Structure 1
């Protein structure tokens, strides 16, 4: 089946209250969803993360001419053709654009076969994944962690057995809130933290020391994303695993961090690193270093479902916590573009099912995107 069209949907909303992390307060969330259209009318969905407007421009100018009119089954050939357009920019909006197209083509190809993406790529190793809550987030005002106890109680009631709050207000405050959270959740729940690139090396080391008694599975992105030397220093000095990789796009970038022995948990984002093709290459590299990889997810239902399909294919590794890795990250903030088809809360055992329906495993009428739609475009094959 040939690809006869691409559609783009620019979506967004303003979270209320704003979502705080160690680097910023998120007051606007913008997304790009892409549909790849087959000649029989079947469609596949993809998503770009972080730079939706620049990614859309790249798709329209460079990628659309490469994929339109081509067989959707040529997933590897089309990926390498798209990657050949990057030139100097191998870690930015161009790769995010490729990510969305690759994701959409995998969805379309699997739907055309009547199977899930995981089945098309060789078969899932699991049908459920442990879900971890991505939140709570820092609040504005003099007591940034004030809402955490109530929010954590709510997450426990929603069956989450793993929770990743944002920290980074100050090292000693990080320790106080995480020690209190460990007492609150008990010894069996998994706790991780995300510092969102908010500290320099010294503060990151202090924060890690203050949080040691909280028994964390990992500390995520304590430094700027390409500070290899800084990550080496933190990884060597702390007893806790260091996680990261969501802001890295190229295979070479992951190679450099793995060779430097910085990350104990690798977190590529499928909307950044090249979709399914990109993630699979990174996962193979991680396997060579015996480092667990799992998708970073903080977008719409499209990336979340792609991450479930990809996560189901990954080799299990024990990293601590209630189950072996990989886990699936669930945005627990009010995000209507994630919960458009219903909540993504875990079952009583803390896990979420990997859909076995065709493609990414969901059906979405684009008309349902209307409340959040800012712009829409379509490019057809000549």
Structure 2
């Protein structure tokens, strides 16, 4: 089954209220959903969530000619060919473009065989995973954490047994927030926090010390993503795991951070590090360092379903929670592009099951994107 056409759908929306973290308030979320169409009309989907417009330009100019007319099953060969097009931009938008096409090729190739991506890549090691809530988020105003208690109660009612709020307002306020949440949820719910690259080393250490009594599973991205020395310092001093990796694109970047023992939990994102091919390489590297890996996912239904497929293949490791890693991250903000095919529902034990069906398990038609689409482009063989 050869790739006959490539469609790019630029979609986005304005969150209300804006989603606050330690670095910014997100007032607009834009994505590129990439559709590879086979000769028989079968579709495979990929996604770019971080730099959708730049990645789209790279796909149209550099990658499409390599993929059009080629068999979807040749994922490894096509990945190698795409990687030869990268020059200085080996950790940015060009790598995100490769990631989206690799994701879509895997989806398409598995659909050709009428099996899931997990089956195609060797078979799932698990069919259910603990889902963790990615939120609540900081709000604007005099009480940045003021909405957390009510939002946490709502998440508990949805059966979440692991919750990751945003932190990074100040070390003192972080400590008060984390302590209050631990008292609210009790001892049986896992808590982690995400600082979204908001601190330098000193404030990061002060914040982590202030939150220690909350018994956190991990503190995520307290520093800029490639501050290797800073992460070494923080990881050595912290009493909980330091998590990160979502913003790293190249295998070399992961090697450097793992050699430095900077992360206790590794979080590669399929849309950033090379799709299924890239993340499998990162996961193998993490295994060599005995570091648990799990997908970072904060985008649309495409990346979420792909991350579920990938997570079923990863090595199980105990991390201190009720169930072994990997967990699956769930964006709990109002995100219409995540719930295109229905809401995310958890079982009473806080787990989610692997989506059924071929490919990534997502049956998506372009018409469903219409309310949020801002641009569409089409490429085919001339």
Q: TM-score range by the shorter chain?
A: over 0.9
Other-structure match for 2:351:
351
In the TM superposition, structure 1's runs of 4+ consecutive aligned residues that sit over 6 Å from their partners are: none
Other-structure match for 1:102:
102
Are residue 87 (structure 1) and residue 98 (structure 2) matched?
Answer: no
For 1:29 and 1:172, the matched residues in 2 are separated by: 30
1:361-372 mapped onto 2 (5 Å cutoff) = 361-372=361-372
Other-structure match for 1:26:
26
Other-structure match for 2:182:
182
Q: Report Cα offsets for 1:324-375 as digits up to 9, x if no partner.
A: 0000000000000001111113111101110231001021111111110000
Other-structure match for 2:15:
15
For 1:30 and 1:310, the matched residues in 2 are separated by: 23
Are residue 378 (structure 1) and residue 378 (structure 2) matched?
Answer: yes
Are residue 62 (structure 1) and residue 62 (structure 2) matched?
Answer: yes
For 2:330 and 2:381, the matched residues in 1 are separated by: 36
Q: Report Cα offsets for 1:288-334 as digits up to 9, x if no partner.
A: 00000000000000000000000000110000111000000000000
Residue 47 of structure 1 contacts residue 100 of structure 1 at CA under 8 Å; is this kept in 2? yes
For 1:163 and 1:340, the matched residues in 2 are separated by: 23
For 2:41 and 2:308, the matched residues in 1 are separated by: 25
Q: Report Cα offsets for 1:242-281 as digits up to 9, x if no partner.
A: 0000000000000000000000000001000000000000
Shift in Å, 1:109: 0.3
Other-structure match for 2:143:
143
- TM-score, normalized by length of structure 2? 0.99
In structure 1, stretches of 5+ residues that fail to align are none
Shift in Å, 1:36: 0.6
1:217-366 mapped onto 2 (5 Å cutoff) = 217-366=217-366
For 1:213 and 1:341, the matched residues in 2 are separated by: 40
Q: Secondary structure at the match of 2:6?
A: strand
- Aligned residue-pair number: 382
Other-structure match for 2:120:
120
Aligned-CA RMSD value: 0.6
For 1:278 and 1:356, the matched residues in 2 are separated by: 24
For 2:170 and 2:281, the matched residues in 1 are separated by: 37
For 1:39 and 1:172, the matched residues in 2 are separated by: 59
For 2:346 and 2:197, the matched residues in 1 are separated by: 28
Q: Secondary structure at the match of 1:375?
A: strand
For 2:297 and 2:101, the matched residues in 1 are separated by: 17
Shift in Å, 1:35: 0.4
Other-structure match for 1:43:
43
Q: Secondary structure at the match of 2:115?
A: coil
Shift in Å, 1:134: 0.2
Q: Secondary structure at the match of 1:146?
A: coil
Residue 292 of structure 1 contacts residue 326 of structure 1 at CA under 8 Å; is this kept in 2? yes
Q: Secondary structure at the match of 2:363?
A: coil
Q: Secondary structure at the match of 2:145?
A: coil
Q: Secondary structure at the match of 1:175?
A: helix
Q: Report Cα offsets for 1:10-36 as digits up to 9, x if no partner.
A: 000000000000000000000000001
For 1:167 and 1:282, the matched residues in 2 are separated by: 27
Shift in Å, 1:104: 0.4
In structure 2, stretches of 5+ residues that fail to align are none
Residue 178 of structure 1 contacts residue 214 of structure 1 at CA under 8 Å; is this kept in 2? yes
Residue 115 of structure 1 contacts residue 356 of structure 1 at CA under 8 Å; is this kept in 2? no
Shift in Å, 1:106: 0.3
Shift in Å, 1:49: 2.2
